[in-house]
Amino acid sequence: MSSHGHPGLERLERRLGPRTRGRVAATALGALLGLGGVAIGLALHSITSGASYAQLVGAVALAMLLGGVPAGIGATVVGWGLGAFIVEDPSWSSVFADRDELLRWATSLLAAAVVVAVGWAMRRGHERAAVAAVEAERSRRRLEAIQELTAGLSAAVRPADVAEVLARGVVEALGARRGSFGLVEGDELVVAESGDGAGPSRSPVRVPLSIRTPLAAAAREGHVVWVERRAELVRAFPDAAGGAAAGSALAVPVRRGGVVIGGMAVDFRESGAVTLERRAVATLAAELGAQALERARLYELERLEAERNGRLQSLTAALAVSLVPADVAAIVREQGIGTAGADAVAVHLVSESGEALELEGASGVDTTSLDRVGRLPLERDSALATAFSRGRASFHPSLATLHPDDPLQPALEAEGLVSAALFPLGASRRVHGVLLLGWRTAQALAPDDRAFAGTFASQSGQALDRAIRYESERTIAETLQQSVLPQALPEVDGVTFAARYLPGEAGVDVGGDWYDAFALPDGDLAVGVGDVAGHDLSAAATMGQLRSMLRALACETGSEIPATPSDVVCRLDRVASRLDVTGFTTLAFGRVGRRAGRTVFRWANAGHPPPVLVPPDGEPELLREGVGMVLGVAPDRQRTDREVELAPGATLLLYTDGLVERRNDPDDTASAHLLDLVRRGKELPLSDLCDHLVRGTGADTGDDMVVLALRVAP
């Protein structure tokens, strides 16, 4: 770790003397101090009338203080070398000629040697203490950096976050100039680099794994790589970014489960910076990084799985209420964007003739660019036609895998798409179309991405198949239902009829509601309204059978006394139950005829909503009496009739529950609402009254509606 930028370390290093100033400078300083001591001795010679060596010992002591041992030795050599000739006698008389002077000279020299030795010992201890302090500070900061690195790796939740934390954290922990981290992806290395020092991190880049850098070598070969000298670094790894500015470099592999998945590298400004300790720290950081990468990988898998599940749940919920093929296709296009990262989605459906695929719509692209595949004959050699006819998905990481004459290739290229995947849409070997996913960056699609896209297409295909079958069954049911409803109502003197039938709202299956009115052999009029439980083709078929059976039983003659409505309903219940065609059916059936100069309505009710009687000058009322068991439950149970007079101008209304039923109506406000609606429209012509009722209904179930109205002439 460098002391650059750390004032505490810089102060300690300034106190190391020769280590920072240089031996030559220290020796020169000592020589100057020695000369100074000699000069002082000469000046003192005239005053003391004899040689003085005390100033030389002082000069040595000062030199040791300022410059260390080199300065002390320099001061000693210069001071006592010159002092032997000029301090005793400026006339360059040698002290060696006088025994007493030689003893003084030697004694002072010994004192100087003691000063140097003591100074050296003290300084040596001081230097060691300072070096130890510097190393302790470096170790402390390195430990803090490793702790920060560990904390950062613990907080990283994506592989990219781990790479950035490692690239920056190792630089701080090792005191490096720059760091980088790379993950192996196929034949490439995705590299994240830190900036110089504390600079910002750079965006990840992709480089070939074969590139000649320490990082790539460690990731490729799986062992630690270090280079001590700049010349060797440039020669061995010429592709290293900034190699000319780095003095040494270190790279270690990153493993997961024994497999090398990447590498980590740092470089230093100075040569010889790759110490054993730094290699150990880098190896530790690589191990921590591998653990963090595994956590990030598991987190990413969990997040991706949750995202996929959420997307599939959203798709399923949206498709569950979509019963029209066009609506299904629109939902698939909308939610297909982003599936496995797709940038574009297109849906082709087979034409009604079954001879071609027609573009239903697209998202993420301009549909005009797809005009050339807007209608594609199935016999044409095309990836779309192949996916449809074979019922198998196909993946095209490159559009070059498409047939040269395939019109899909130029259509996709015009939108900047470079990869595509095609999935058949259908279920149970019934294929109704093709889903196309496109990408603007090359995508090979990993197995889990392919599986997810396949599941998305399967869910979409099932919903499309369900919508197409529903549409077909609904068309058949509507046709059947319309075929069994009366083509015309009876036209008789004194009574007028009107009726309305409204199928359920969009998204609600065809029901079993029906009505009928016909003349009986004895001159009376038969009227009836029924509702077969269920909303499907079976309910519509049951409704048709019951209507035909009711007509036959009502018109049957075998005695002079006409059958009462209750007799007819009982016989219908028994016969239909034996033939197992009743299901759960409600029915209101009656006869309208003249009795003793009066028009009367006699009826039997099998669990059906009560008729409404509207007197010409009174309030509407519900005919609640005599409601019996629904058909198909107790066929041998006796039923009763009720009879009411229909005064001139009176109106009788029969209807199904679709006119009044509400999802949440515990207080039966629907009946009161119906009576109020009838009250406000009773003066209307009969046909207008029927329209008034179906438009003003308070029902909210979206069920079928039937209204059969008759009015006695005033």
pLDDT at 71: 79
354: left (phi over 0), alpha (psi -120 to 50) or beta: left
Fold agreement between 156-300 and 321-475? yes
Query: Tell me, what's the pLDDT at 19?
Result: 45
Amino acid at 708: L
How far, in whole angstroms, is CA 320 from its chain's centroid? 22
Report the candidate in 689, 694, 712 with the shortest Cα–Cα distance to residue 704: 694
Give residue 432's pLDDT.
Answer: 93
Task: Please name the residue ranges forming H helices in 485-533.
Answer: none
Angle between helices 99-155 and 54-86 (to 10 degrees): 130
How would residue 614 be classed by pLDDT, with cut points 50, 70 and 90? very high
Q: Which token pair is 404?
A: 């040269």
The region of weakest confidence among 306-315, 390-399, 541-550, 658-667 is: 658-667
pLDDT per residue as tens digits for the range 154-179: 777 777 777 777 777 778 778 888 88
Alpha carbons 562 and 558: distance in angstroms, whole number: 8
Q: How confident is the model over 382-400, as a mean pLDDT?
A: 92
Question: Checking phi first, is residue 217 left (phi over 0); if not, alpha (psi -120 to 50) or beta?
Answer: alpha
- 358-367, 611-620, 653-662, 702-711 — most confident range: 611-620
Q: Kindly state the average pLDDT of the residues 530-540.
A: 76
CA dihedral for 50, 54, 55, 60, sign (positive or negative):
positive
Whether the pLDDT of residue 608 is over 80: the answer is yes
For residue 89, pLDDT beyond 60: no
Question: For residue 198, is pLDDT > 50?
Answer: no
Averaged pLDDT for residues 401-412: 90
Dihedral through CA 630, CA 635, CA 640, CA 645, nearest 10?
A: 60
| pLDDT for res 647 | 94
Residue 571 has pLDDT above 70, yes or no: yes
Q: What is the pLDDT of residue 431?
A: 93
* pLDDT tens, position by position, 434-443: 999 999 998 8
pLDDT tens-place string over residues 45-76:
666 555 566 777 787 788 777 877 787 787 77
pLDDT of residue 518: 93
Asked if 21 and 14 count as a contact pair (C-beta separation under 8 A), the reply is: no
How long a stretch of residues is the chain? 714
pLDDT confidence band for 648 (50 / 70 / 90): very high
pLDDT of 295 > 90? The answer is no
Calpha distance 199→189 (Å, rounded)? 23
Cβ pair 593, 613 in contact under 8 A: no
What's the topology of domain 321-475?
A: Beta-Lactamase (3.30.450)
- Percent over 70 (pLDDT), the chain: 86
CA 530, CA 550: separation in Å to the nearest integer?
Answer: 11
Q: What is the DSSP annotation of 263-279?
A: EEEEEESSTT---HHHH
Indicate the SS3 state at residue 438.
strand
| In the predicted structure, residue 9 carries a pLDDT above the cut 50 | no
In this predicted structure, which of 90-104, 270-284, 498-512 has the lowest mean pLDDT?
A: 90-104
What confidence score (pLDDT) does residue 202 get? 61
* 643: pLDDT strictly greater than 80: yes
pLDDT of residue 91: 57
Q: List, as own/partner pairs, every contact residues 113-118 make where C-beta atoms lie below 8 angstroms and the sequence separation is at least 24, other chains included.
A: 113/76, 115/57, 115/60, 115/61, 115/64, 115/72, 116/60, 116/64, 116/69, 116/72, 116/73, 116/76
More confident residue, 640 or 302: 640
pLDDT digits (tens, 9 = 90+) for 217-241: 999 999 999 998 888 888 888 887 5
Sorted by where each begins, the domain ranges of the chain are 7-139, 156-300, 321-475, 485-712
Q: Is the pLDDT of residue 515 over 70?
A: yes
| CA pair distance 376, 19, nearest whole angstrom | 84
Look at residue 2 and tell me whether its pLDDT is greater than 50.
no
pLDDT at 178 (0 to 100): 84
In percent, the amount of the chain with pLDDT more than 90 equals 33
pLDDT for position 543: 82
Q: Residue 88's pLDDT band (boundaries 50, 70, 90)? A: low
pLDDT at position 171 is 81
CATH for 485-712 (3.60.40.10, 3.90.550.10, 3.40.190.10, 3.30.930.10): 3.60.40.10
**Cβ atoms within 10 Å of 244's Cβ, excluding its own:** 10
Of 646, 634, 651, 657, nearest in space to 686 by CA = 651
Pick the range with the lowest mean pLDDT from 5-14, 317-326, 382-391, 664-673. 5-14
- Nearest partner of 505 among 654, 700, 695, 331, judged by Cα: 700
User: Does the pLDDT at position 706 exceed 90?
Assistant: yes
Q: What average pLDDT does the segment 602-619 reach? A: 94
Is residue 47 within a helix (H) or strand (E), and if so which, with residue range?
helix 23-48
Whole-number pLDDT of residue 97 = 64
Residue 529 CA to residue 606 CA, distance in Å, equals 11
Indicate if the pLDDT at residue 621 is higher than 90: yes
- Above 90 in pLDDT, residue 148? no
pLDDT score for 20: 41
* pLDDT score recorded for residue 14: 44
Task: At 136, list the tokens.
Answer: 């302790």
The fold of the 156-300 domain, in CATH, is: Beta-Lactamase (3.30.450)
Instruction: Give me the pLDDT at residue 508, please.
Output: 45
Which pTM does this prediction carry?
0.55
Is 90 a residue whose pLDDT tops 70? no
pLDDT at 245: 67
What's the pLDDT at 477? 67
Alpha-carbon distance 311 to 308, whole Å? 5
Q: Give CA–CA dist 348/357, Å, rounded.
A: 6
